[in-house]
Structure formats: structure tokens, C-alpha cells
Amino acid sequence: MRVGLLLCDDVAESLKDKHGSYPEMFATLFGSVDERIVINVYPVIDGLYPESIDECDAYVSTGSRYSVNDDAHWIAEFEAFIVRLNQLKKKFVGICFGHQMMAKALGGEVVNSAKGWGIGVMSTAVKKRPTWMEGERERFALVVSHSDQVTRMPPGAELIAGSEFCPCYMMQLGDHFLGIQGHPEFSKSYVRDLMLRRREAISPQRVETGIVSLSSAVDDEWVTRNLLNFLRHRR
């Protein structure tokens, strides 16, 4: 399967030597589950897109330091691309920023949450178990890093997972679009360094709590298997 990675940001230069880039993170993540996955990288943050939608079988978008509500040309262009993917019923998984753009572009709502930053390891409840989801798991945990949240899903979307802190954590639209707030591609080590780098913006107290949470187990492999299941699945 050819997966187009829509690069909405990348690791800060000061952290790349230790943690690698976003494309490297996703190559490691997908390769740990299926070595046959081929990744084509498209830096949409620089306005670079596939010449043809059919260059890839499916698309995955990364997170971003930016908000989907920011007034920037590349964000508006990315929103238009998400609308086009939806119109063509092309398989797409939006992670964090991509999850939020899926909502915003298709008629939902994204706001800067009054609950503050979600950071570190957080657990969420499975609200609906689609046929592509493995097992009978009731909850799963991932690392997160976000201050914006989806507060209204786009029309027709189904809630797959949510928590008290983040009610719309995972959603599905039709057979082709899936959004998730957490980061299966992020290591705990990277999230720790990211928290420390953003300490003042997040708040020292929330960072301290987030660092303590990193002792909890995460379900990144299980989530990744399910994301790939979704990209391959047809009803």
C-alpha cells in the first residue's frame, strides 16, 4: 500500500538529532506493523501536493504546532485538499491537526479548549467498535500534545472514542475518513522533550503532571494496526 504522508509540520531542528523527523517516525511506526507500506512524503506546509490524488492509495496527515483556525495560506490550501479527498472518497487518516482539520473542513467546529493543554499519556474510552477495530478493548492510551479540540463533529461523522477531557478523540466519516487526536508516532522521550521545550506556553504545573503520566503504558502498536486496518477496509 502506498501511503501519502501530508507533512503539516516537522520536528524542531534542535530535537531532530535525538528524535528524527516526522517522516522517519511514521516510517518506523508503519514498518513495525507492515514492512510493505511505502510512504510518499508531501510537505503541504510548503505548498507541495501530489500531482494526482491517485499517486497514493491512502493519505495520512501529521500533527502541527499551528492551529487549523490560523489565517495562513497553506492552512487554507490544506483545508481545500481535505475537502477534495472527501469528495473523491479517498482514504484518509488525520492525526491531531489532521483530525481537527477533518472536522473544520467538513462543517464541524474546532476551538482552543478551556480545559487547557492535553499533554503526556491520556486514556480514552471506545464508544463504538467498527468492524475494522481489533479485539474487545474498552479503552486505549496514547501520548497527546494539543490545546485545540474538536467540539462539534462534521455532519454524518460517527464518534469512535472519547474521554471527559477530550470528548471527540476519534471519529469516522463514511468508509473513507478517520480522525484521531493522539499520536501513535510520538515516542514518550520525544513528548517529554517537547513538553520541556514548550514549558512556559503549556504551564510548568501541567508539564510536571504530563511528565509523571509518561510512566503509563501506551497502545501505539494496537492503534497503528487499527489505522492500517481502516485504510485497507471496505464495507
Active site residues: 96, 183, 185
> Is residue 98 packed enough to be buried (19+ CB in 10 Å), middle (13-18) or exposed (0-12)?
buried
Going along the chain from its start, the domains and CATH numbers come out as: 2-232 (3.40.50.880)
Instruction: Determine the Cα–Cα distance for residues 171 and 180; give it in Å rounded to an integer.
Output: 7
Q: At what angle do helices 97-105 and 73-87 cross, to 10 degrees?
A: 70
DSSP label at 49? -
Q: Taking 70 as the threshold, does the pLDDT of residue 235 lie above it? A: no
The tens digit of pLDDT for each residue in 14-52 reads: 999 999 999 999 999 999 999 999 999 999 999 999 999
pLDDT band at 200 (very low <50, low <70, confident <90, very high): confident
Instruction: Give the length of the chain.
Output: 235
The per-residue b/e assignment along 68-92, b for 16 or more CB within 10 angstroms, e otherwise, is beeeeebbeebbebbeebbeeebbb
Is the separation of the CB atoms in 174 and 89 below 8 Å?
Answer: yes
The tens digit of pLDDT for each residue in 148-197 reads: 999 999 999 999 999 999 999 999 999 999 999 999 999 999 999 999 99
Global pTM reads 0.96
